Amino acid sequence: MRSVVTSADDRFRRLYADNFQAMLAYALRRVGSLDDSADLVAEIFLVAWRRRAEMPPGDESRLWLFGVARLTLANHGRGEQRRHQLGEKLRLELREHLVTHDPTSELLEVRAVRELMAQLEPHDREVLELAVWEQLAPREIAVALGLSSQVVRARLSRARKRMRILLENHSSGMFYGHKSAKAGHVRGVPTMLEPKEGKS
Amino acid sequence: MKDSEIDRLLGEVQPTPVPAGALAEAGRELLEEIMSVHSPAEPGRSDQAVPLPTRTWSLARRRLAWVGVAAAVVAAVVVPTVVFGGGGAVVPVTPATQAPTPTPQLPHTKNPYVLLDAPGWEIDHVNESAEDNGEISFQQPETGQSLQVSWTTMDAYESRYEDRLDVSDPEPITLFGANADRFDYGKGEFEVLAPQSDIFLEVRGSSTGGRKNFAGLLEQLRQVPAEEWFAAMPDSVITPDENPSYTEEILAGVPLPEGLPASAFVSGFTNSRYHVEFGVIQRATCAWLENYEQAWETDDEPAMAAADQALAGSPNWEAVRREDGPDPIGAEQYVKAVSQRKSVDGYRSNLGCDDLG
């Protein structure tokens, strides 16, 4: 039991509260199983907790956390399945909330787009995912990745350009209908999975 | 397909969106678990790697970028016709009557001039963003393998090395006859950090197969004389001597604000056509928005109209119109704001205009 609550502890609590959902989403979008996602979230915050003294002030702490997340993910990608004692409840509730992990992957269009994304260069894909999935601005991505804003913009522009060419060259032409599809929807793709129960 | 449409499509195919507010209780429990872990940092690989942002580094690069541009402008005036010819020689092209022959000048950059000799591989792109920062990317089109070599100043080395300790344990190797460290990202991705006096190289291989294959590729990397490197550049890469004429080509049909000379767009760096075009289009867009902003503040309708007309035509600028040309990221909203005579507040940071100096 901690007897002293430091300002660093308070800042970490705030960082955690503000970014738990974002890190959960980050993990779920990038690793293959719910258990791995829970482990990754636990690992990200554990590393951040241990290094909290180095957390930058203000909004940059959020971007710093994304930097922690990508390197923790890289470690995770090496196949070291480190099961933590931490986050057991998170693992269980993830299974309960998202019984079928990523059901949208069964849809042909979704699979096709993801396969096209996989054809982008890793550096380009990374900035595109951070921009589109994590909704980070180029300036924020630059901070998170430790790059210049100019490099990020060039990579982002190149990634979108290549993605456009890949989509337009895709043999089935299935994406051309997207523009006229119902706003905000790829045909047949739910925009959000509904939790089984009310918000907790 | 517009950028916004691509983004929307990609947003919709993201795996498993998380219901808002879900798992909050489990999250709270995890927080208490984590905060009960003894700290400060315990020994261990993952604890050692915190990727601290390197803002000062990027600011330094911006300043250097301006130095580079200014140097290039001077070079364009003083030695306008130096070309890097084939056959490994720098060939000064001067009128026959001119004397003395100008000394061939190489760009003052920290480019390590690396080439890859592996069969079937080709140069995908080159991007020198500052005097001491850049990358060259090689790819094997048939297999989808890629190898990127980037270089930055040594002041970023320590933090980069610490970051990579979170990826894997370093394995000592030799690159270009000097000590280096290899890190294993798994799934055929490796990275080498190789210090070289005042810069260090990052060599990143993707889909390169196992360790042995990656090592084989590294053996085929060569540092070559600058002239050989320039001679090896494909048509898709614009060398500094080609930059003024290519910039002029890009600017054809692009209206410029009064007082902004075309020479302000010239760069002394080596970049793929795409990156040259990106820089020029970005600078032109920023310049017009700056003009508009000033006009908007003083309610100068003719000046606002001029900016409006120029920006409205930007989708038809040759470089933008081409399929493989650049997009000024996020400019659409400001072009629209200009047409409606609204504020364009925030455009500088959102479009990266501040990075241009």
A110 plus A83 within the same structural domain = no
A79 plus A145 within the same structural domain = no
Overall average pLDDT of the B233-257 stretch: 92
Q: Is residue A172 part of a domain?
A: yes
Overall average pLDDT of the B324-345 stretch: 85
What's residue A115's pLDDT?
85
Can you list the domains of chain B with their CATH numbers? 114-223 (3.40.1000), 237-356 (no CATH)
A19 plus A87 within the same structural domain = yes
Domain count within chain A: 2
A106 plus A96 within the same structural domain = no
> Chain A residue with minimal CA distance to B145?
A121
Q: Is residue A195 part of a domain?
A: no
A96 plus A115 within the same structural domain = no
What's residue B32's pLDDT?
85
Tell me the CATH number at A152.
1.10.10.10
- The pair of structure tokens assigned to B286 is 């920023």
Q: Do residues B175 and B116 lie in contact, with contact meaning Cβ atoms separated by under 8 Å?
A: no
Q: Do residues A78 and B185 lie in contact, with contact meaning Cβ atoms separated by under 8 Å?
A: yes
Separation CA B225–CA A44 (nearest Å): 44
What's residue B105's pLDDT?
66
- Decide: helix, strand or coil at residue A67: helix
Q: Do A98 and B49 touch (CB under 8 A)?
A: no
Interface test with A, best of B4, B5, B16, B45 (most A CBs within 10 A): B16
A131 plus A81 within the same structural domain = no
A23 plus A76 within the same structural domain = yes
Q: Is residue A197 part of a domain?
A: no
Q: Is residue A188 part of a domain?
A: no
Higher-confidence position of B279 and A91: B279
pLDDT digits over B108-140, tens only? 889 999 999 998 999 999 999 888 899 999 998
Overall average pLDDT of the B243-263 stretch: 91
Separation CA A22–CA B119 (nearest Å): 44
pLDDT digits over B63-109, tens only? 223 233 333 333 333 322 222 322 222 222 333 333 444 444 677 88
Interface test with B, best of A151, A179, A180, A185 (most B CBs within 10 A): A151
Q: Is residue A192 part of a domain?
A: no
Separation CA B192–CA B175 (nearest Å): 9
Q: Do A119 and B144 touch (CB under 8 A)?
A: yes
ipTM of the complex: 0.71
Q: Is residue A2 part of a domain?
A: no
Examine the fold and report which residue of A101, A118, A133 is the final residue of a domain before the chain moves on: A101
SS (H, E, C) chain B: CCHHHHHHHHHHCCCCCCCCCCCHHHHHHHHHHHHCCCCCCCCCCHHHCCCCCCHHHHHHHHHHHHHHHHHHHHHHHHCCCEEECCCCCEEECCCCCCCCCCCCCCCCCCCCCEEECCCCCEEEEEEEEECCEEEEEEEECCCCEEEEEEEEEHHHHHHHHHHHCCCCCCEEEEECCEEEEEEEEECCEEEEEEEECCEEEEEEEECCCCHHHHHHHHHCEEECCHHHHHHHCCCCEECCCCHHHHHHHHHCCCCCCCCCCHHHHCCCCCEEHHHHHHHHHHHHHHHHHHHHHHHHHCCCHHHHHHHHHHHHCHHHCHHHHCCCCCCCCCHHHHHHHHHCCCCCCCHHHHCCHHHHC
Identify the domain containing residue A167 by its residue range: 102-182
Q: A97: which chain B residues are within 8 Å (Cβ-Cβ)?
A: 19, 22-23
Higher-confidence position of B56 and A24: A24
Q: Do B10 and A133 touch (CB under 8 A)?
A: yes
Higher-confidence position of A18 and B325: A18
What's residue B256's pLDDT?
94
- Decide: helix, strand or coil at residue A3: coil
How far apart, in Å, do the first and last CA atoms of chain B sit?
A: 31
> Chain B residue with minimal CA distance to A42?
B30
What's residue B18's pLDDT?
62
A132 plus A84 within the same structural domain = no
Examine the fold and report which residue of A54, A82, A101 is the final residue of a domain before the chain moves on: A101
A91 plus A130 within the same structural domain = no
Q: Do B327 and A161 touch (CB under 8 A)?
A: yes
- The pair of structure tokens assigned to B155 is 């002041």
Share of chain B above pLDDT 90, in %: 42
Sign of CA dihedral B157, B159, B164, B170: positive
- The pair of structure tokens assigned to A184 is 């905000």
Cis peptide before B195 (omega within 30 of 0): no
The mean pLDDT values, 10 residues at a time, for chain A of 200 residues are 59 90 88 82 89 83 90 67 64 68 62 85 88 88 82 85 84 47 33 31
Q: Do residues A148 and B61 lie in contact, with contact meaning Cβ atoms separated by under 8 Å?
A: yes
Examine the fold and report which residue of A101, A117, A144 is the final residue of a domain before the chain moves on: A101
Q: Is residue A196 part of a domain?
A: no
Interface test with A, best of B5, B25, B34 (most A CBs within 10 A): B34
A95 plus A117 within the same structural domain = no
A24 plus A13 within the same structural domain = yes
Separation CA B14–CA A103 (nearest Å): 11
Separation CA A138–CA A160 (nearest Å): 13
- Around Cβ B188, how many Cβ atoms within 10 Å? 16
A50 plus A96 within the same structural domain = yes
Give the residue among B82, B89, B125, B346 at the shortest CA–CA distance from A139: B346
Separation CA B304–CA A121 (nearest Å): 40
Tell me the CATH number at A43.
1.10.1740
DSSP classification of residue A134: S
Higher-confidence position of B103 and B50: B103
